A = this chain, B = another copy of it.
Amino acid sequence: MQRSSEKPLTRIQKQNISAILEAALEVFSVNGFRGSTLDQIACAAGISKPNLLYYFNSKQAIHVALLSELLDAWLYPLRDMNPNGDAKDELMNYVRRKLDLSRNFPRESRLFANEIVQGAPRIDTFLKGDLKNLVDEKAKVISGWMDKGLIARFDPHHLIFSIWALTQHYADFEAQTSLIMGKDSDKIYDDASIFLEAIFEKILA
């Protein structure tokens, strides 16, 4: 089956493809690409391995499909930052939305983290293309806000990186934080939300 064709999907196709992607996300985000097997994914999706390969031609094809789905959602909150909005509100809102993304989609965050930690072999064109452009653009916006004295002056790129680092940490390193805190991650996110709100309030002031 060629997933590139333009025919509308049948009921069974929709159902199986989404089951496969859900299963693959679960498996890839825990074991990484090389550490995951098609049998695991097929089993988790409730179908046979040949049937899985009927919908996706290769293991890589599944991985690519997952990553491209993810990258859109990933960019959205930053893209949505409004240059004409209130500087501090826009940034605080970005922090909140990014933390919500970690809370609600930790597997996606870990899938992405796995990919970057290992040198981003499959998404470097995305990183130095779409992502770089967007970040450069928003860094300029933030820099403009700093020029007007609406928020404190810092390197805007590193300010963006710090938001990423602080919010993703709770998803990517959840195993660590929850073992150290001895709490389930939902309560940790509640505290994290208060903490991040407070420090960014001070940073931006």
Please report A residues at the B interface, Cβ cutoff 8 Å.
30-35, 110, 113-114, 116-120, 124, 127-128, 131-132, 135-136, 152, 154-155, 157-159, 161-162, 164-166, 168-170, 172-173, 175-177, 179-182, 191-192, 194-195, 198-199, 202-203, 205
Q: Given A117-B173, A199-B203, A158–B33 Cβ distance below 8 Å?
A: no
Interchain CA distance A191-B182 in the complex, whole Å: 35
Q: Given A120-B179, A173-B117, A154–B32 Cβ distance below 8 Å?
A: no
26 contacts between A and B (CB under 8 A): A32-B32, A32-B118, A33-B35, A34-B35, A35-B35, A110-B117, A113-B173, A114-B114, A114-B117, A116-B172, A117-B117, A120-B175, A120-B176, A127-B179, A128-B179, A128-B180, A155-B191, A157-B181, A161-B177, A161-B192, A162-B169, A164-B169, A164-B173, A165-B165, A165-B168, A166-B166
Interchain CA distance A33-B114 in the complex, whole Å: 12
Q: Taking CB as reference atom, which chain B residue is nearest A204?
A: B202
Interchain CA distance A202-B194 in the complex, whole Å: 17
Q: Taking CB as reference atom, which chain B residue is nearest A166?
A: B165
Q: Taking CB as reference atom, which chain B residue is nearest A162?
A: B166
Number of copies: 2
Q: Assess the B119–A179 pair: CB atoms within 8 A.
A: no
Q: Given A165-B169, A191-B155, A131–B202 Cβ distance below 8 Å?
A: no
Q: Assess the A117–B172 pair: CB atoms within 8 A.
A: yes
| Residues of chain B lying within 8 A (CB to CB) of residue A116 | 172-173, 175-176
| Residues of chain B lying within 8 A (CB to CB) of residue A33 | 35
| Residues of chain B lying within 8 A (CB to CB) of residue A176 | 116, 120, 127, 131
| Residues of chain B lying within 8 A (CB to CB) of residue A191 | 155, 158
